[in-house]
Structure 1
């Protein structure tokens, strides 16, 4: 009976002592394996074989093949490096190394939705402004773009950082400006028939003017020829000849000098 009581009392004590021994913490740079506290492998290395009672240090090997361990540990496998997915708006900011994971950054035109200590886990494209709006605040790697409507008499196609004033047409405004487009200036197009009619009129006027000029020049030439002939005749006729005096013919033959003189006077009168 006494032995039974002794067993009953000693068994819990043994269990408690064993549990206390099992729960004794290893040092900060150690890890527990069974009853042993083994030194941790440095970051960038994993445990190849644990320490034993006869071998107090584990065997450590470097992480390879896109794996890493960024802190000392007693792990036997390394962690897989993070992949920066362009479909999530990410790019590699810092490549993976045995002692550190990949650091992802945002692609151009994206901003981070899920930031980490040094990078980003997911990103989204900056918002696009609509025609009639301008970009009041340009998006960054951490913030989205902010759009605002264009005020009166200004416009933007949605890609501008400020609205532009409508063009003031000097002569004719074909299309008025809108919040998303500029004014269209120019001259109103004339009908094709009207243009053809104007060209024909100019052609006829030019033709008539040419004919008139030709006739005027021809008439002037005839008049100059008559004057030249008169001067020639005048040099051959005596200046003091009387009407009763007989004047010889210029080109031969006989005739009445009075008649020739009278004809000469008549021609001078006409000219």
Structure 2
């Protein structure tokens, strides 16, 4: 019973002593000691004969407020695995402040005003356009391409209107979509006209070729017939006139030769 009473009295005395310390003091060993300033911690607490001895925080540690701590707090690590990067480096009097990586936004706020978790920005795919760009504080916002437009690349800022086939004198062959343009083809009338014109051109060329060929053949035949007539015409009279002359010449030759041959013939006899 007595021991319980003494225990209660001990705690009451401690609370009284703590309550009696000033805001810039801390209670230790039954007395109030002055706190160490931000960026340091307690090296040796005060005694009845000495004041508190403080030591600066080592690298990678900090304290932000006056304290009676025996050790400084470790600096925060900005883990890239959760999308974080160092926004402000740790200092003796200030903890590290993390922010989202480039291409990420903060999806979890920290009590010190930094970020505890980053999330990658949404990618607007083909068939969509970027409604608002992502930032360190917010995600990218996408929206589908309106009817009659399309986009073929990721993160397109605008959607392209479908091609109007009629403006080019064509008709629609394939319907467009949010990711593809309309496919056009020539109209049937235009195709028929084109084929007709082409056929007429072929026929015209063939006709001219045949005409020139026939004209050349006719000219050669006419020239040949004219030449034949010129050759045959004079020959017939010449042959007729030459036949008697030829016979007379033979007779004269025979008459001239006979006297010369006769002595020979006589001697042979």
Q: Deviations over 1:152-206 (max 9, x none)?
A: 1111245223322112232365543211222345679xxxxxxxxxxxxx9xx99
| Consecutive unaligned residues in structure 2, runs of 5 or more | 1-5, 188-200, 224-240, 242-269
Work out whether residues 106 and 123 of structure 1, in 8 Å CA contact, stay in contact via their aligned partners in 2.
yes
How much has 1:127 moved relative to structure 2? 2.4
In structure 2, do the counterparts of structure 1 residues 212 and 24 end up closer, same or farther at CA, with 3 Å as the change threshold?
A: same
Q: State the aligned residue count.
A: 213
**How far apart, in 2, do the equivalents of 1:177 and 1:123 lie?**
38
The equivalences for 1:227-246 within 5 A come to none
Instruction: Look up the match of 1:145.
Output: 140
Match among 58, 66, 75 for residue 81 of structure 1: 75
| Consecutive unaligned residues in structure 1, runs of 5 or more | 1-9, 189-201, 225-255, 257-271
**How far apart, in 1, do the equivalents of 2:113 and 2:185 lie?**
57
Q: Please state if 1:166 is matched with 2:172.
A: no
Work out whether residues 43 and 69 of structure 1, in 8 Å CA contact, stay in contact via their aligned partners in 2.
yes
Q: Please state if 1:104 is matched with 2:120.
A: no
**How far apart, in 1, do the equivalents of 2:145 and 2:126 lie?**
9
Instruction: Look up the match of 1:68.
Output: 62
SS in 2 for 1:87: helix
Is 78-87 or 133-142 further displaced after alignment?
133-142
Work out whether residues 35 and 66 of structure 2, in 8 Å CA contact, stay in contact via their aligned partners in 1.
yes
Q: Deviations over 1:60-100 (max 9, x none)?
A: 23322x11112221111111111111221211111111221
Q: Please state if 1:122 is matched with 2:109.
A: no
In structure 2, do the counterparts of structure 1 residues 185 and 105 end up closer, same or farther at CA, with 3 Å as the change threshold?
A: farther
How high is the TM-score relative to the length of structure 1? 0.59
Q: Please state if 1:56 is matched with 2:48.
A: no
